[in-house]
Structure 1
Amino acid sequence: MALVACLLIGSAHAAAQVTRSSARTAVEAGLVDIRTQVPDIAEDIKYAGRDNFVGTRIDGYLAPKCLLLQPVADALARVEHELRARHLRLKIWDCYRPARAVAHFVRWAHDLGDLRTKPQHYPDLHKSQLLGDYIAPVSGHSRGATVDLTLQRCTADDACAALDMGTDFDFFGTRAHTDAADVTAKQHANRQLLLDAMAREGFRNYPLEWWHYTLQPEPTPHTLYDVPVQ
């Protein structure tokens, strides 16, 4: 699993081919707010606050917004509208992630004395194990085509509750694998429901993280962005 590296570019060769955009704003980068497409989409942008595996607001997150490249936002909006016809909705945790945020994750991982979030996020691992397999200096989120999210079931009056997926977001461990053997049949069925809905609009799951999806083909597969989320 490669959680915060979550969609790492995968190999040194691939990473060498990725360049950082000179864009200084979301507009210059072609990033749009998903709420321009779906104004009432559910969001809990974890890295804009303290409820995340680092335990503090992450560099580059100046506002709790989901920014994506336009084709990705369009596709995600289609997923949401299709789900609503079945009394389901998405809930978004993260979208585009500035490169400076990934650097913040790496600094945190090197601080072996900060164990505040271990019980919730990596209970079965020593923090020294997170660098490399879990946290790396390049993330696919920085390309603007990846989202972390879950599913909610809603009543006719729009009261929604998250489906049980078996782990929290950003759980470091094998139970977060989409096809994990140590989750219940219902939890697996809920993951499959999300996977099927996302796949219909071209999103591919990262199999080591049930919440992690990337639109295929990516609009800018060789470009990283570092504009702030604001």
Structure 2
Amino acid sequence: MDTPHTDISAPMVINIPIKESNEALVSIDGHIDYGPPPESPLTRANYKLLREQVLVKLLKVEAGLPTGLKLRLYEGYRSPSFQQQLFIQHMQRVLSAEPKLNREQSYRKTALLVAPTETIDGKPLSPPHSTGGAVDIEIIDSKGKVLDFGMEVKDWHKVSNGLCCSNCADISLRAQNNRLLLASAMLKEGFVNYTREWWHFSYGDQYWAYSTEASHAVYGRIE
């Protein structure tokens, strides 16, 4: 949780080679709880899909949680086309708040919270969610209520960037402990956390490869 942060779009991340495993996308239906389609109804067909080993690992995470607690998926796979829509929408929010930013500045600021589908020069990228290796995840109690994490994932674009950070200190001790509980459980099963977003974890993608010092990623983007 206190390790130095590296952005998803940083050169040392996006330049890591990908050796695609061709592992299938599978649905979490009947295995892991989930909420309604996030962001847009356009995600309905995809958001419950994950790479097979990611689902296996999530089931192990859930089995290790304290009694009465379960995981709830907010979002899994995103098509590159929808990921690009999210990027453009968030860039519009960024420019609305800071209209004097130039193209490069607005791109980089947008990329802090929404992974781009291409470099600023147009080179295709493999955003974590578009690989099927990334999950936005929460913990719920026995009544299906999300634990107190200091904010809800669905409000990521309405709150400050600082509040989204995994190690945010401006939240209650209970919320801090719940973020730590989630992170500890996920990291134990081999996931890595994107520390600008306490809810985002991935396995097998370039960010995972960078964070674990693996020689290559095993999941690339799926069209």
Q: Does TM-score exceed 0.5, indicating one fold? A: yes
| CA–CA separation in structure 2 for the residues paired with 1:105 and 1:160 | 28
1:140 aligns with 2:128: yes
Which of 143, 148, 162 is 1:164 aligned to?
148
Which whole-Å CA distance do the structure 1 matches of 2:11 and 2:218 have between them? 13
Q: CA RMSD in A?
A: 3.3
User: Are the counterparts in 2 of residues 20 and 225 from structure 1 also a CA contact under 8 Å?
Assistant: no
Cα deviation digits, residues 125-153 of structure 1 (max 9, x gap): 55875524333423212222111011112
The answer to whether residue 53 in structure 2 is matched with residue 57 in structure 1 is: no
Q: Which structure's residues are more often helix, by fraction?
A: 2
Q: Report the CA distance shift for 1:202/1:19 in structure 2 as closer, same or farther (over 3 A).
A: closer
Instruction: Count how many residue pairs are aligned between Structure 1 and Structure 2.
Output: 190
Is 1:8–1:140's contact at 8 Å kept on the other side of the alignment? no
**Secondary structure in 1 matching 2:110:** coil
Closer/same/farther in 2, CA of residues 134 and 196 from structure 1, 3 Å limit: closer
Cα gap change, 1:197 to 1:133, in 2 (>3 Å): closer
SS in 1 for 2:74: strand
**Matched ranges for 1:77-156 at <5 A:** 77-83=59-65, 86-111=67-92, 126=98, 130-138=109-117, 139-154=127-142
The one-letter amino acid paired with 2:148 is: D
Instruction: Provide, for residues 35-90 of structure 1, a one-character-per-residue CA deviation record: whole Å limited to 9, x for no partner.
Output: 3xxx152211543xxxx3xxx434xx24264211111111111112232x611001
Change (3 A) 1:13 1:191: closer
TM-score by length of 2: 0.70
C-alpha distance after superposition, 1:150-192 (max 9, x if no partner): 11121xxxx2221110012124510111111111111101111
Q: For residues 75 and 183 of structure 1, do their structure 2 counterparts lie closer, same or farther at Cα, with a shift above 3 Å needed?
A: same
1:68: which partner in 2? 50
Letter paired with 2:88: R
Q: Residues 206 and 107 from structure 1, CA distance in 2 versus in 1: closer, same or farther, beyond 3 angstroms?
A: closer
Structure 1 residues 152, 104: CA separation in 2 closer, same or farther (over 3 Å shift)?
same
Contact kept in structure 2, 1:17 and 1:222, CA below 8 Å: no
Q: In percent, how many aligned pairs have the same letter?
A: 23
Gaps (5+ residues) in structure 2? 1-5, 118-126
Which whole-Å CA distance do the structure 1 matches of 2:17 and 2:81 have between them? 16
Q: Distance in 2 between matches of 1:20 and 1:99?
A: 19
Residue 31 of structure 1 pairs with residue 25 of structure 2: yes
Kept in 1, the 8 Å contact 2:87–2:116? The answer is yes
